[in-house]
A and B are shown apart, each in its own frame.
Chain A
Amino acid sequence: MLVALSVLIFILLRLAPGDPIDAYINPSSPMSASDLEVLRDRLGLDQPLPVQYLAWLRAALSGDFGYSIQRSGVAVLPLVMERIGPTALLMGTGLAIAIVLGISAGIFSAVRRNALPDIILSVVAFVGISSPAFLTALLGLYFFSVLLRWAPSGGMQTAGAPFSVSDVLAHLVLPACLLSIGHAALIMRYMRASLLEVLNQDYVRTARAKGVREFWVIIKHATRNALLPVITLIGSTVGIAIGGAIFLESVFNWPGMGLLLVNAVGTRDYPVIMGATLVIGICVILVNLLTDIVYAVVDPRIQVS
């Protein structure tokens, strides 16, 4: 799977016009061809594609993902590893907020089906789903950072300040909240639909027939079952979340995978793109695995081995 992914990316990359050396040339203060030859030689970009790929694969299998072309002296693996943390932090926080908000709003909405609070929540959720991530990010940045100065305008830490948790949190809050908007809305819609469906199930009627309090009927008997499709949804949104994170990371200058990739694609930094895509692929696969495990925990009918 990962090999297939790497082949795909490799081919895609080589199909794209411009190579890393082209990225080096500033068209308004260009360099001579012989200057460029130096770089091309060193990177082995003149060899046939299969040879280049196999060389990359052989090195990658032994754990060597090469060096970034655009950043002197930076090996790909540590560079990529360094970025996982921030992205995981941003996405994790954003998704956590989204999950908590989305699920509770979904439950509330389903229970109050078609009542005013449900309609309001649903409309809000629809607006959330319908707003482009980058627009909310831009506006959020402008209002909360530039105008109100409630939060830093970007980055993960205050430049020059020693590392501190509160500093990172201060930088995290705004982008994480903005990231959560769309996801919360989506989760809420799914949760609502799923819960409404579950509420029609026989076992919910059984629970009521047992005299379980309505609150516990919803929370204990219905919600856990209603969560199942939502878990699948959350698992499959991780890919999308990485996408949303790209917008946010570039607007908020968050030093994560998305930003790294956007930069790497912009400079045709092949080793970094390959490394980062693979790591993202692994993460997605891991998240799917995690989803399966969570699913199995929630649903005893599924067995994981």
Chain B
Amino acid sequence: MTITARDPTVDPTAAPQTKGPLRRALDRFFENRAARAGLLIVVPILLAVSTYHLWWPFSPNAIDLRAINKGPSAIHWLGSDGVGRDVMARLMQGGRISLLVAVCSVAISIVIGFLVGAVASFGGRLVDGTVMRFVDLAMTLPPVIFLLVLASIAGTGIAPTILVISLLSWPVLSRMVRARLLELRERDFVVAARGMGAGLPHLLFRHGLPNCIDILVVYATLQIANAILLEAGLSFLGLGIAPPEASWGNMLNLARSTVVLEQYPWQWMFPGAVLVLTVLAINFIGDGLRDAFDPRSDLN
């Protein structure tokens, strides 16, 4: 094939627009139907979750012992739970917590993952070997076991959950970053920068970071989806967000009880549906971003 975008024999003076690689990736992203659908799902959920206190009359922790386990109605749109709390309000608050946990943990694991990967790839063979052994160790530890032990130390609650999830997820990223940077280190334009006397910070932040941005963005979205699932799993095992604080995970935990599963399905079905939908949408977005950042997608 000789007709490819690698062959942009466009006369620059004839082509009026100048788009950076990020802009082009975004353009491609918005052309992706699944990604658009993902955005269409996530944005309203985000909006609702972040503003619900302004327009929804119930508070997530207000109990009403006279109205427990009531099904969806005009007052409680999504019904009420075992102590008469409004499921809608808890769903929104739970979304806040779940998303907060996911976003924070991903942010932390990105910082750790990038720095570890960067140090390993630019730090010389010995550092690389040592760091990667350590990463291997962290990956040998089956995640849920690590998590069980960590969670029982750190306890339950938002901050420990964030800590646990971020500690769990950085090794994968650091491997990806390392692989990318090892490859990047040999790329001509990085060699050129070294040839001009560039030091480690310059290489890392002027070349390393921008060229890892795709990995980071894609990892971030996919990992947010993953972190939501992890939080749910942790809460399910009783190690994540503890009630009465709401999270999608601990709301789903109610389905363990056969009575709730069977007779009060609104208590788990709505959080379940919203969780799956959100994770699905974020996965769509992540996938869309991955395609958008893939230089080969220019071909199609």
Contacts and interface: CB of A to CB of B under 8 A. Distances in A.
A and B touch in the complex (CB under 8 A): yes
B144 A258 contact: yes
A79 interface: no
Given A13-B149, A17-B153, A265-B149, A127 B140 contact: no
A4 B136 CA distance: 11
User: Interface SS of chain A: helix, strand, loop or mixed?
Assistant: helix
Contacts of B280: 126-127, 130
A138 B255 contact: yes
A116 to B, nearest CB: 13
Contacts of A130: 225, 229, 276, 279-280, 283
User: Interface SS of chain B: helix, strand, loop or mixed?
Assistant: helix
Contacts, number: 108
Contact of A9 (B149, B279, B296): B149
Interface in B65-99: none
A261 B148 contact: yes
A262 B148 contact: yes
A9 B150 CA distance: 10
Given A5-B141, A243-B142, A146 B258 contact: yes
Given A129-B279, A132-B252, 10 more contacts: A1-B140, A127-B280, A132-B229, A132-B233, A243-B143, A243-B144, A247-B237, A250-B237, A262-B237, A265-B149
Interface of A: 1, 4-5, 8-9, 12-13, 15-17, 122, 126-127, 129-135, 138-139, 142, 146, 200, 236, 239-240, 242-243, 246-247, 250, 258, 261-262, 265, 273, 277, 280-281, 284-285
Name the 9 nearest CB pairs between A and B, nearest first. Answer: A243-B144, A130-B279, A130-B280, A242-B142, A16-B153, A16-B152, A12-B149, A134-B236, A265-B148
14 contacts: A16-B152, A126-B280, A127-B280, A130-B279, A131-B276, A132-B236, A132-B249, A132-B275, A139-B255, A239-B140, A239-B141, A242-B144, A243-B144, A246-B144
